[in-house]
Amino acid sequence: MKICILFSLTFAYGFLGNGFSNANPLPYDAIFNFGDSISDTGNAATYNPTMPSNSPYGSTYFNHPSGRMSNGRLIIDFIAEAYGLPMLPPYLNLTKGQDITQGVNFAYAGSTALDKDFFMQQMLELDAASYSLSTQLEWFKKLKPSLCKSEECDSYFKNTLFIVGEIGGNDINAIIPYKNMSALREMVPLIVEAITNVITKLIEEGAVELVVPGNFPIGCNSAVLARVGSDKKEDYDQFGCLAAYNAFIEYYNRQLKKAIETLRQKNPHVKITYFDYYGAAKCLFQAPQQYGFSSGKIETFRACCGKGEPYGLSEQIYCGSVASMVCSDPSKRINWDGPHFTEAAYRLIAKGIVEGPFANPSLKSPPFKIA
C-alpha cells in the first residue's frame, strides 16, 4: 500500500497547485501513439462505425460519441493536454492538408500485439488483429515523409514522444475463455517480442524518447470478473480482484520490463519510460473512496454502462444497446462498460503517470496540471 500513499499525496498536490506553469518552450513538440481501445481516439470508429448517434460513449466530456471507448477522455488525451498539445487525431480520419506535426494516433480498438496469423492458427477469428501493432507501425512509416524530410527528422524527433501501448491486452483477453493460466504464460514471450520489435524499428526510424506502458490488473476488470468469476472465496484477494489473473499480469509486466531494460542497454542514446498502469489502476481498486469512487466488494467493480448482475453488465446487453442503462454519476465509477474505465479513472491514472510515481524514469515536467 505504500505506493498508493504516494499516489494520493501526488494527487493532493495536483489539486492544490496552480493549473498552469510558465515553462517554455513546451517539452514535447509532438506525440505519436500506438495501441488499442485504451488509447484509440477514433480509428476503429472511423473505419468501422459501430456506435449510434445516441450512444452514451463520449457523453460526459464530448457530449457525443467521440470514437473513444469511454464516457469521456482517455489517458492519452490527458497526457496531450498536460503538454499543451491538441488531442491526437486518428490516422484513419486524417484529411488532405491537415496539420499533423503535433502528433497522430495510430491506436485501433481491439487491436493486438500479435498479428492475425497467430490467432488464425489458434482457430480464433479476431478481425481487429488486422490492425495489430505491426500494421500501425506501417501506417507511421507511410506518414513519416509528410512529417519531416530526412535531414530534418533528427531535429523533429528529438522533442517527440512515442507511446507504444498499452498493447497486448486483447491478445490475452482472446485466449482467456479457452486456455488455462499456463497457456497464457506461454504467450507472454511472443507478445513482449512483438512489442520490442516495433520499438526497435521506431528507434531505427529516429525515435529517441519512447514510452511503453505495462498492462492493467485484469483480475480487477469488470469484464474479466463477469466472464471467469469464481464461487470460491480463496480465488479473490482482499479487495475483490481475481488473484491468479493479477499474478499473471504481474508476471507479464516483469517480462516486459526486462525486455525494456535490454533495449535500453542496446540503445544508450534513447530514453525508454515504463508506465506502471498496473500500480496506478490497482490503487483505485484498493482505496476507491479515497479517490471519490463508490466502494464495496461488488460496487467497486460495477460498470457504469450496461446491464446485468452482479457487475452491471452482460455479454447480451452491451453498453449502448437498447436495454442497457447508464449510471447517474459516471465520476463515481471506475469502470465504464466492462473492458474500459471511466474518464474519472483515466484522469487519475494519467495524473499518477505525468505528475506522480508511476512513470520510470519520469517524463519531462509538464507545463500544465491535469485538473
Banded pLDDT at 266 (limits 50, 70, 90): very high
Say whether pLDDT at 25 is over 80.
no
Banded pLDDT at 8 (limits 50, 70, 90): very low
C-alpha separations of 177 from 174, 228, 237 in Å: 7, 7, 21
The pLDDT value given to residue 114: 96
Catalytic residue among 39, 77, 237, 340: 340
The beta-carbon contacts of 338-341 under 8 Å, at least 24 apart in sequence, are 338/221, 338/222, 338/223, 338/226, 338/303, 338/306, 338/311, 338/313, 339/37, 339/69, 339/173, 339/221, 339/222, 339/223, 340/37, 340/38, 340/69, 340/70, 341/70, 341/281
Rounded CA-CA distance 308/298 in Å is 13
The pLDDT value given to residue 88: 98
* Catalytic-residue membership of 337: yes
Say whether pLDDT at 30 is over 70.
yes
The pLDDT value given to residue 4: 66
The pLDDT value given to residue 113: 97
- The percent of residues in the chain predicted with pLDDT above 70, rounded, is 91
Cα atoms in the 13 Å half-sphere on the side-chain side of 248:
22
- pLDDT tens across 73-125, in order? 999 999 999 999 999 999 999 999 999 999 999 999 999 999 999 999 988 88
Banded pLDDT at 22 (limits 50, 70, 90): very low
Tell me the residue ranges of DSSP E strands in the chain.
30-34, 103-105, 160-164, 209-213, 271-275, 305-306, 325-326, 359-360
- pLDDT tens across 41-84, in order? 999 998 766 556 678 999 999 999 999 999 999 999 999 999 99
Residues 265-289 have a mean pLDDT of 97
Question: What DSSP string describes 33-93?
Answer: EE-STTT-SSHHHHHS----TT-STTTTTTSS--S-SSSS--HHHHHHHHTT-PPPPBGGG
* Catalytic-residue membership of 115: no
* Catalytic-residue membership of 276: no
Catalytic residue among 40, 171, 237, 337: 337
Question: Which range among 2-6, 84-88, 289-293 shows the weakest confidence by mean pLDDT?
Answer: 2-6
Say whether pLDDT at 17 is over 70.
no
Catalytic residue among 29, 37, 39, 77: 37
Rounded CA-CA distance 30/146 in Å is 14
Residues 277-295 have a mean pLDDT of 96
250-288 burial, b at 16+ Cβ within 10 Å, e below that, comes to: eebbebbbebbeebeeebeebbbbbbbbbbbbbbbbbbb
Cβ 56 vs Cβ 71: under 8 Å: yes
- pLDDT tens across 309-354, in order? 999 999 889 899 999 999 999 999 999 999 999 999 999 999 999 9
Banded pLDDT at 21 (limits 50, 70, 90): very low
- pLDDT tens across 152-193, in order? 999 999 999 999 999 999 999 988 876 788 889 999 999 999
The beta-carbon contacts of 205-209 under 8 Å, at least 24 apart in sequence, are 205/140, 205/141, 205/144, 206/153, 206/154, 206/157, 207/157, 207/160, 207/162, 207/270, 208/157, 208/158, 208/160, 208/269, 208/270, 208/271, 209/28, 209/160, 209/161, 209/162, 209/270, 209/271, 209/273
> What's the whole-number average pLDDT of the chain?
91
Rounded CA-CA distance 242/257 in Å is 23
Say whether pLDDT at 12 is over 50.
no
Q: Which domains does the chain have, with CATH numbers?
A: 2-291+343-360 (3.40.50.1110)
Count the neighbouring beta carbons within 10 Å of the beta carbon of residue 52: 11
